[in-house]
Amino acid sequence: MRWIRVVVLAASAVLVLGFVAAVGVVFTRPELMPSGPYHPRAIYCKLLGYPVHPWVRVDPAKRFTLRVWSTRWPIFREGYGYDDLIDEAAAEFRRTHPNVDVEYVLLRLDEIGPAIAAACANTTPPDICMAPFDPSLVESGLVVPLDVFMRGKEAGDAAADSFDLRALGPLALRGRVWAWPAWTSMQSWAGNAQILREAGVDVERVMTLGWSYDDVLAMVRAVAARQAGMEERYRTYGLVLDAASMATLDTLMRAAGRGLALACDGSLAWQGAPLLSVLSFLEQAREERAFPEPASRMGGLMLELFWNGRAAVIGPVGPGFARHVRERRERVAEGKLPYAFKGVEPVLLPIPHPPGGAANPCVSVRSAMVFRHPGRGGEDAARLAVEFARLLARKEALWLARELCVVPAHLADRKQVRGTIGPDGASERFLLAAASSGAVCSHTSAALAQKEREIRERVIAPALSEFWKGSLAAGDFDAHVRKGLPGGAPESR
């Protein structure tokens, strides 16, 4: 009997060793076994906490409908618009997944962020959302982590090292990546290089190294000196800024290293020396007669004054301005606007920073977030959504790089559109450098993100309106804002 036990043990050991060896082989070469819950890689991913992974089995006989939310970009060239881009991506996806349909809802850019936040709060998100990345949505538990799709040779051109690290980094949280990076955009100022050079500004140096408040004020004084005795209706202004929204203050604070109005503990971050420095700069520029009056309404005159050669610098501007410049150049080439650039040489410029500080490019990363619906099951639909989101993110990036002058996050795609990202070579170099050096500012807490939005809208924006009207001085702004804070937002210590 003893020898029987020995044989059984030996046979069992051989079977176990053989099973372990087989598992090891399949783990190393996952294509040897069909996808499914018992694939070694699938078991490993589940153990690591990834319910959606590359080895989720998708039944080819089952019908799926993926719902996509994105932005309605008002761009049409030869009858081709964003709807056509999504339809084209869906048709391409159906060639390998004929059982998948795509439905989409397109919103305005300023609507999509609040809409997806509300959908996550109500546990009714779409399968895919194309929007600026919002890390506070991760708290919902509905966002699918995607770093498991970026590992190993199976990932191919979806591997993490295929993307610009500056675009991929903001999408990482808690050791995981939560979206496909699509493209990077930036907010900047725009300048008339002809006027700036006459004012003694080294435009190329500013584009490369940035400039401080003192540099801008020196330019403002030089421009004002050339206008001595000139009638107001013919004057050229050093600065024409957006005073109708929080964009000017927001970008200046971001460039100063304070991108968020609230600190991570919920206290007010926009206060004290950093805030006073920004507002004092704007106040001093006004005293130097940099702005047209009334300053509170000058934003509506930005483009008119710029294209009439009466503004040295306007801002802030986004990707749409570079497209605007390109379109005008195309119309000039067609003979439709022969005098469009008379006395105007448009260039993109960084947002200025405090004296002695470093420049912080104001960038944002557009991404494709994938959501898993609550409850058991749905991994197969989410698995398909991951694949379609990756396809759509790259197609959108390539299209908008040519149309809106944004920078694709995928390095191979970036090479493909070189020469078309900016309206000119200098602007393209500026945009590429900013995309590879800028930092994204956002809250990881949904509650804190909501509190930030409320304080901006209800407290800071009204105070800023009074500042532009001249009824609130820079030195009084801090106390005015803190007085209006709700009880749930403690003051900074």
Bridge partners, residue 185, by sequence: 364
Determine the average pLDDT of the residues in 7-16: 48
pLDDT of 146? 97
- 186-358+444-483 has the same fold as 62-184+364-435: yes
Nearest Cα residue to 267 out of 486, 96, 461, 25: 486
Kindly state the percentage of the chain with pLDDT values over 70: 91
Residue 155 has pLDDT above 50, yes or no: yes
Among positive and negative, which fits the CA dihedral 325, 331, 337, 343?
Answer: positive
**What is residue 493's predicted lDDT score, i.e. its pLDDT?**
42
Angstrom distance (rounded) from CA 217 to CA 401: 33
CATH of domain 186-358+444-483: 3.40.190.10
Q: What tens digit of pLDDT does each residue of 398-440 get?
A: 999 988 889 999 999 999 998 888 788 888 898 998 888 877 8
Task: Report pLDDT digits (tens) over 365-405.
Answer: 999 999 998 766 789 999 999 999 999 999 999 999 988 88
**CATH code that applies to domain 62-184+364-435:** 3.40.190.10
The pLDDT score that the predictor gives to residue 13 is 46
Residue 322's pLDDT is 87
Mean pLDDT confidence for 71-85: 90
Instruction: Quote the pLDDT of residue 61.
Output: 93
Query: Residue 19: what pLDDT?
Result: 37
79 band by pLDDT with thresholds 50, 70 and 90: confident
- Give pLDDT, residue 88: 97
Q: 92: pLDDT confidence band, cut at 50, 70 and 90? A: very high
> What are 172-190's pLDDT values in tens digits?
998 999 999 999 999 999 9
Identify each DSSP E strand in 197-281 by its residue range: 237-241
Statement: residue 253 has pLDDT above 80:
yes
What does the domain layout of the chain look like in residue ranges?
17-47, 62-184+364-435, 186-358+444-483
Residue 353 Cα distances to 14, 42, 138, 268, angstroms: 70, 49, 32, 21
pLDDT in tens, 98-110: 999 999 999 998 8
Q: Looking at the predicted structure, is the pLDDT value of residue 20 above 50?
A: no
Q: Examine the pLDDT at 120 and tell me if it is beyond 80.
A: yes
**Bridge partners of 189?**
349
The predicted structure's pLDDT at residue 143: 97
More confident site: 7 or 16: 7
Mean pLDDT across 488-492:
44
Please report the pLDDT score of residue 492 as a whole number: 45
User: Which range, 234-243, 422-431, 481-490, is most confident?
Assistant: 234-243
Assign residue 237 a region (left: φ > 0; alpha: ψ between -120 and 50; beta: otherwise): beta
According to the model, what pLDDT value does residue 326 have? 86
Q: Are 219 and 312 in contact (CB under 8 A)?
A: yes
pLDDT exceeds 70 at position 38: no
Higher pLDDT, 155 or 294: 294
CA distance 2 to 16: 21
pLDDT at 16 (0 to 100): 40
The rounded mean pLDDT for the chain is 88
Q: CA geometry: angle at 386 spanning 36 and 393, to 5°?
A: 155
Q: Is the pLDDT of residue 6 over 80?
A: no
Give yes or no for residue 14 having a pLDDT over 60. Answer: no
Cis amide prior to 292 (ω within 30 degrees): no
| pLDDT of residue 225 exceeding 70 | yes
Going by pLDDT thresholds of 50, 70 and 90, the confidence category of residue 491 is very low
The first and second tokens of residue 449, run together, are 């993100």
